[in-house]
Structure 1
Amino acid sequence: MIRTASVLSTIAALLLPSLASASETPWQEIAPGVETRVVGAGTITAGETQVALELRMPSEMHTYWRIPGETGLAPEFALSEGGATIKFIHWPHPEVATISGYVDYIYRGAVMVPMTVSVPEGVTGLSLAVQLGICSEVCMPVMADFDLALDGLADPGNALRIRQALADEPILWDGATPPVELEAYDAETNALTLRVQDPAIEVSSMLVSVADGEPLFGPASKAGDLITVEILDAGRPDLLGTEINIDFDTSNGPYRYRTRLSTD
């Protein structure tokens, strides 16, 4: 279960000359104290390349995960021109935060969101439009447009940073035993009870979700080896049989475990 990194590639990238890179856009200030840009790995392999949106925010400010929560604004990414498409967005594991009584899934400070992009032959650049919600005491929608050149030349420094950011995306649990077990699902009280099976799980980091984002789930509350997670949308029909994602952090990085809600 331990993730491994390419030590040699890391050392090699760090030893490269510190030169300006063509595989990155200039920083843009999109809110007071908040800057963003797009960086790329440079190479195109089997019609795909890796890019990432990079954000720098003060610690008191935040933006949102793919499912923003009760009050947030879901991020939007769109490519235009040339037929390039976003194949995957590799969302880092977010924080489950209760802010002014509402539950949101957020990122604070510095964050990088990698993307795998399909690139048709002959495309020499990407035009990416981004819309985000940026919040401190008040929230505001912000938009930014980026033009990133694609010359097919490797950018080892940014490629390394993107690989490091990919390690923050939960990977599917492949252990011999489940990390948690569904102890009970109560449709009347709108709550899940889970039993912790693996002591490496950082319960405070646990996030329960479904693929389409609805309903929303609250933060995990632990008592002994039992965890209670409230289902926030009380008007949602019975979720029996619904597949849920249980994401959590460990000392080896974040993982995702999938199971279906049942009363067994």
Structure 2
Amino acid sequence: MQRRFFLPSLIVPLFASLAFAVFAGQATAAQSDWSEGERSRLRLIASPVDGEVMAGIEIELEPGWHTYWRSPGDVGIPPRFDFSGSENLRSAKVLYPAPERYDDGTSISAVYFDRAALPVLVTADDPTKPVVLKLSAFYGVCKDVCIPADGAATLTIDPQPQDDPRSRIALKEAVAELPQQGPAAGLAIESPQRDGSDVTIPVAAERAPEQAPALFAEAPDGAYLPVPELGTHEGGSFVYRLRFSSPQEAKALSGKELRFTLVSGGEAIEQSMKLP
């Protein structure tokens, strides 16, 4: 079943930056060639989406295989996307649709199954020239075993490219699956609370109280955090527990801002909060 998520408010100003990378010129292909990897393949795509030019990284996996979100969880390989070889590129920001929570019986991860499309917000150095987007990618794929994969793709992005329905639909669906910034109606993450060496995080998920939501936590500077465990719940109120391996580990993050992503009932939100 395909999920639908709110368009986050931060997308509007980020999309606006793309206007500076849109200029008159000859349209080019909307898709790069596929780059074959282990149990997967990867390419770049681009198309107008709601009046703005967007790029994206499209990853297809063999049936039953998955790849990892920006913070993989207990196990997995975080993806790395390098655009340093690009031409006329000021910045390229990769955005991540909300992941799925995957429990293999021994560990819990944040993943995408079968296919992932990641929007990329591109800004040109010189808005009068095309951007030659060159991607070098390293990511993990997993089923019964986990394997590192890599790929490379190049796509020239001109202004007002011809509409490519397949790329446009893939990008529009990916944008719709980005978490909303801050609480939504019936969906919220409350302030973390200290409980010994652990931290508890109350959440409200009133739209789909019959199914526990998935909560993901990320620490600054890429520090490892486990996937929060579901504790007590009643109706649409749930309490998650972030378990640290030692009091020292918990103390090291005290006062630092963590980013939480909550996925429930086809919606997702993202909130940043300081640990007590």
Q: Same fold (TM over 0.5)?
A: yes
8 A contact 1:51–1:116 mirrored in 2? yes
How big is the shift at 1:42? Answer: 5.8
1:135 aligns with 2:176: no
The number of residue pairs the alignment matches comes to 239
Pick the structure with more helix per residue: 2
Counterpart mapping for 1:65-84 below 5 A: 65-79=69-83, 80-84=85-89
- Residue 167 of structure 1 is matched in structure 2 by 176
Cα distance between partner residues in 1 of 2:222 and 2:245: 11
CA RMSD of aligned residues (A): 2.9
- Residue 89 of structure 1 is matched in structure 2 by 94
Using the size of structure 2 for normalisation, the TM-score is 0.74
Letter in 2 for 1:249: V
- Residue 229 of structure 1 is matched in structure 2 by 241
1:212 aligns with 2:221: yes
- Residue 258 of structure 1 is matched in structure 2 by 272
Counting aligned pairs with the same residue, the percent is 20
1:30 aligns with 2:16: no
Letter in 1 for 2:240: T
Cα distance between partner residues in 2 of 1:22 and 1:176: 40
> Structure 1 stretches of 5 or more lacking a match?
5-20
Q: 1:66 to 1:175 in 2, by over 3 A?
A: closer
Q: 1:183 to 1:248 in 2, by over 3 A?
A: closer
1:189 aligns with 2:197: yes
Q: Whose RCO is larger (CA < 8 A, sep 6+)?
A: 2
Q: Secondary structure at the match of 2:213?
A: strand
8 A contact 1:42–1:152 mirrored in 2? no
Letter in 1 for 2:55: V
Cα distance between partner residues in 2 of 1:165 and 1:217: 25
Letter in 1 for 2:257: E
Using the size of structure 1 for normalisation, the TM-score is 0.77
> Structure 2 stretches of 5 or more lacking a match?
8-27
1:11-67 residue CA offsets vs partner (Å, 9 max, x unmatched)? xxxxxxxxxx811012233123x2222101269x9xx95211112223421111111
- Residue 18 of structure 1 is matched in structure 2 by none
8 A contact 1:39–1:53 mirrored in 2? yes
- Residue 18 of structure 2 is matched in structure 1 by none
1:62-113 residue CA offsets vs partner (Å, 9 max, x unmatched)? 1111112233111111111424144421111112323352232211111101
Letter in 2 for 1:214: A
Cα distance between partner residues in 2 of 1:189 and 1:174: 27
Cα distance between partner residues in 1 of 2:269 and 2:109: 20
Letter in 1 for 2:121: T
8 A contact 1:218–1:232 mirrored in 2? no
How big is the shift at 1:135? Answer: 1.4
Cα distance between partner residues in 2 of 1:198 and 1:100: 25
